[in-house]
């Protein structure tokens, strides 16, 4: 069974500093990988996704992520965070012919705190 690990439960970053959120997955074939963001009391919004091709993918709000097969990782990065980036971030993986349409496996999330 596939699984997703987000090693950091909480991360605190100063406004303007760079950010990297870690995500490791367990899956045999090439996975379908996603990062979602959830602001307090809100639903989830897709930041970016990876299916194939270029291993560095660009997303919304200035985020990017890099797929590294050798490390089974899909880390999320942003060069300079803004106070509005404070939120919960979820990494997710899909598999098979559905690619996740028949269900994604989510990590437990990383809570991002932005210091002024």
The binding site for other proteins (CB under 8 A) comprises: 4, 9, 32, 34, 36, 42-46, 49, 51, 90, 92, 94, 96-109
The residue among 85 and 95 lying less far from other proteins, judged by its C-beta, is 95
CB nearer to other proteins: pick between 37 and 114: 37
Distance (Å, whole) CA 49 – CA 99: 11
Of the candidates 106, 107, 93, 83, which has an alpha carbon nearest to the alpha carbon of residue 19? 83
Give the count of beta carbons closer than 10 Å to the beta carbon of residue 115: 12
- Least spacing, CB of residue 116 vs other proteins, in Å: 26
Nearer to other proteins, 14 or 45 (CB): 45
| CA dihedral sign of residues 23, 25, 31, 37 | negative
Closest approach of Cβ 86 to other proteins, in Å? 17
Q: How many CA atoms lie within 13 A of 37 on its CB side?
A: 16
Q: How far is the CB of 70 from other proteins (least distance, A)?
A: 23
State the nearest-atom distance from the C-beta of 42 to other proteins, in Å. Answer: 7
CA separation for the pair 3, 23 (Å, rounded)? 10
Closer CB to other proteins, 11 or 15, in the complex: 11
DSSP letter (8 states) at residue 23: -
């Amino acid at each position: 069974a596939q699984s997703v690990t987000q090693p950091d439960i909480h991360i605190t970053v100063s406004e303007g500093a760079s950010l990297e959120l870690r995500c490791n997955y367990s899956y045999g074939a090439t996975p379908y990988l996603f990062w979602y963001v959830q602001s307090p009391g809100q639903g989830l919004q897709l930041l970016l996704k990876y299916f194939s091709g270029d291993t560095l993918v660009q997303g919304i709000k200035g985020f990017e992520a890099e797929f590294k097969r050798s490390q089974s990782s899909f880390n999320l990065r942003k060069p300079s965070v803004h106070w509005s980036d404070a939120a919960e971030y979820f990494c997710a993986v899909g598999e098979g012919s559905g690619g996740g349409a028949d269900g994604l496996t989510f990590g437990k999330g990383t809570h991002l705190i932005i210091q002024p």
